[in-house]
Amino acid sequence: VAVIAVQICKLMKLVEYPSFQLSTAVKWAPVNLLFCGMLFTGMASLQHNSVPMVTVFKNLTNIAICFGDFWFFNAKVEALVI
C-alpha cells in the first residue's frame, strides 16, 4: 500500500526520487540482509531471555556505543544522549 501511495505522489509531482535501478538495489542488498538478520536475532533472543532482560541489553548497547565513540573516535557524548 505504501509503495502505491508513494508512486501516486510521484505521478502527481508531489515527491521526486530516481527511478529504480538494479545496480543500486544490488549495492543496498547487504544492508537489507543485515537489517533482516538484526530483526531475526532480536526475535530469537526472546526465546532465551525475558522481555525486560532484552530491554536492558538494548539500553546497555546504547551506552556501550557511546563509550566506543568516545574511546575510539574521541567523540564527545552529551548528557542527554545517555
The dihedral built from the CA positions of residue 17, 20, 24 and 28, taken in this order, carries a sign that is: positive
| Inter-CA distances, 78 with 8, 38, 56, 63, Å | 42, 27, 21, 12
Interatomic CA distance for residues 9 and 17, integer angstroms: 11
Using the CB atoms, write b or e for 3-13: b if 16+ within 10 Å: eeeeeeeeeee
Inter-residue contact 9 to 3 (CB < 8 Å): no
Q: What is the pLDDT of residue 23?
A: 96
pLDDT tier for residue 2 given thresholds of 50, 70 and 90: very high
- For residue range 27-80, list pLDDT tens digits in order: 999 999 999 999 999 899 889 999 999 889 888 998 899 899 989 999 888 887
